[in-house]
């Protein structure tokens, strides 16, 4: 049986990947998270808890889901210094991991990126330990999620808002990325290319734009705006002028693209994942308020952090070279989020069913 590894497996992207791999394969999935932000699997896995082995919980009747609650850096150091650790301590007989998805990171949204940049810089230490381990372990394939934040900020201003192309990041002519978050992702991409080239590991890097989905935390703008629309906030507050825009892409599309990309990209180079559509926060509010059936006045909160003015991508390279295009339109994806938020609020007793 193949075994895949997912770091940060209890975060937004990680949870979706754990469920997807479990549903689409017969393989075993080991996922690791320190639960700094992530949710405990008891709250989101629809498969029964079976047993514990050391600090690992095993779920699913076929025992294919193995959760280790630990700082991934600690796991990585154990794996480097004692390659037999998983077998000896946890009874997991794994010669070599098949796919390794590295989602463990301090992300936290705009408030964290601007408000505590040195905490975000700890991602450098997570990534450095990670690439060191994979250069030794050499899994079959590796996914490294970079970010749209790696792009130079001077290409994302009000007067210079362009559709960002993969080639807009050039290690020979560097621009300045978005805060420490963007720098860590750029460094991660560089380490990915070096690890692929010098150690012969197959690595794919992705630059997702603003990923969203039904089970995303309320600290992110999409579910937070949906929730306020569900409660018919009026006037409707928006951070900044609300004219700043992002390229929102549904998590199912992101993970579909990952699957295609990992088949075709092995040298650590990075691709965009977005819709290629710029949607302003005012547009987003309008969509959710339309679902809620009202038209509030918009109240800008000019003291809130807003990040760059316009961040969206050009998907031409991906379409031409991978033959992949996103399938879930903004309206369809946002309706799914709206319905999920409504269901969550009703289930928690905060809202009466209509």
Ligand X SMILES: NC(=O)c1ccc[n+]([C@@H]2O[C@H](COP(=O)([O-])OP(=O)(O)OC[C@H]3O[C@@H](n4cnc5c(N)ncnc54)[C@H](O)[C@@H]3O)[C@@H](O)[C@H]2O)c1
Contacts with ligand X by CB under 6 A lie at: 8, 10-14, 32-38, 71-73, 103-107, 126, 145, 147, 208, 210-211
CB closer to ligand X out of 123 and 233: 123
Min dist. Cβ of residue 15 to ligand X (A): 8
Rounded distance between C-alpha atoms, residue 127 and residue 105, angstroms: 8
Maximum Cα–Cα distance for the chain, whole Å?
62
Q: Are 303 and 239 in contact (CB under 8 A)?
A: no
CB closer to ligand X out of 22 and 236: 22
Specify burial of residue 38 (Cβ count, 10 A radius: 0-12, 13-18, 19+): buried
Min dist. Cβ of residue 306 to ligand X (A): 17
CB closer to ligand X out of 38 and 268: 38
Closest CA to 196 of 146, 150, 145, 134: 134
Closest residue to bound ligand X by CB: 11
CB closer to ligand X out of 103 and 288: 103
- What sign has the CA pseudo-torsion 107, 110, 115, 121? positive
Rounded distance between C-alpha atoms, residue 86 and residue 84, angstroms: 6
Min dist. Cβ of residue 297 to ligand X (A): 29
Min dist. Cβ of residue 299 to ligand X (A): 26
Min dist. Cβ of residue 51 to ligand X (A): 22
The three-class DSSP label of residue 168 is helix
CB closer to ligand X out of 258 and 285: 258
CB closer to ligand X out of 38 and 326: 38
Min dist. Cβ of residue 326 to ligand X (A): 13
Q: State the DSSP string of 245-293.
A: EE-EEEHHHHHHHHHHHHHH--EEEEEEES-S--EEHHHHHHHHHHHHT
């Amino acid at each position: 049986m193949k075994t895949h590894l997912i770091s940060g497996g209890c975060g937004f992207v990680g949870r979706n990947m754990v469920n997807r791999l479990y549903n689409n394969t017969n393989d075993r999935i080991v996922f690791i998270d320190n639960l700094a932000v992530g949710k405990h699997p008891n709250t989101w896995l629809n498969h029964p808890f079976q047993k514990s082995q050391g600090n690992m919980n095993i779920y699913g009747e076929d025992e294919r889901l193995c959760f280790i609650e630990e700082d991934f850096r600690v796991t990585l150091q154990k794996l480097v210094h004692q390659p037999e650790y998983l077998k000896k301590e946890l009874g997991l007989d794994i010669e070599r991991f098949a796919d390794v998805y590295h989602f463990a990171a301090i992300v936290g949204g705009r408030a964290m990126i601007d408000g505590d940049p040195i905490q975000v810089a700890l991602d450098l230490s997570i990534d450095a330990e990670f690439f060191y381990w994979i250069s030794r372990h050499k899994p079959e394939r590796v996914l490294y999620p970079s970010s749209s934040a790696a792009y130079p900020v001077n290409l994302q201003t009000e007067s210079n808002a362009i559709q960002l192309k993969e080639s807009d990041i050039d290690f020979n002519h560097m621009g300045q990325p978005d805060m420490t978050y963007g720098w860590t992702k750029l460094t991660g991409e560089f380490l990915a290319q070096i690890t692929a080239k010098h150690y012969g590991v197959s690595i794919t890097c992705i630059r997702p734009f603003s990923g969203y989905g039904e089970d995303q935390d309320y600290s992110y703008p999409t579910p937070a705006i949906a929730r306020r629309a569900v409660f018919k906030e009026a006037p409707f507050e928006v951070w900044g002028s609300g004219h700043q825009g992002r390229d929102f892409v549904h998590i199912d599309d992101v993970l579909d693209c990952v699957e295609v990309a990992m088949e075709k990209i092995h040298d650590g180079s990075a691709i965009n994942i977005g819709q290629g559509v710029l949607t302003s926060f005012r547009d987003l509010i309008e969509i959710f308020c339309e679902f809620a059936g009202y038209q509030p006045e918009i109240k800008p909160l000019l003291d809130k952090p807003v990040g760059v003015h316009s961040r969206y991508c050009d998907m031409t390279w991906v379409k031409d070279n991978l033959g992949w295009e996103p399938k879930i339109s903004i309206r369809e994806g946002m309706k799914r989020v709206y319905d999920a938020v409504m269901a969550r609020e009703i289930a928690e007793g905060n809202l009466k069913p209509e």
